[in-house]
Amino acid sequence: MNSFNTLHWLIVLLWLAVFIIPAWRIAAKAGFPGAVSLLLLIPVVNIVFIWVFAFIKWPVEKPNA
């Protein structure tokens, strides 16, 4: 029971496919680096990230100066 089995890795890949990949694309379309979606992997930070991301001004919304 000390090592991860195949089922564990399938669940990890499913988690990445369902949450991280779409979040990466959304962040990129909003004008942020896609890597900020990796914050979703950190407990509590993920909740704060979603709230901050929802209410800040996105770079693609800022008028060109």
Q: Tens-of-pLDDT digits for all 65 residues of the chain? A: 567 788 888 988 898 889 888 989 988 888 889 888 888 888 899 899 889 888 988 888 777 65
Q: Is the pTM of this model over 0.95?
A: no
Q: Which amino acid is at 21?
A: I
Cα→Cα distances 53→14, 24, 30, Å: 24, 13, 10
Closest of 26, 29, 17 to residue 50, by C-alpha:
26
The pLDDT assigned to 64 comes to: 67
The pLDDT assigned to 2 comes to: 64
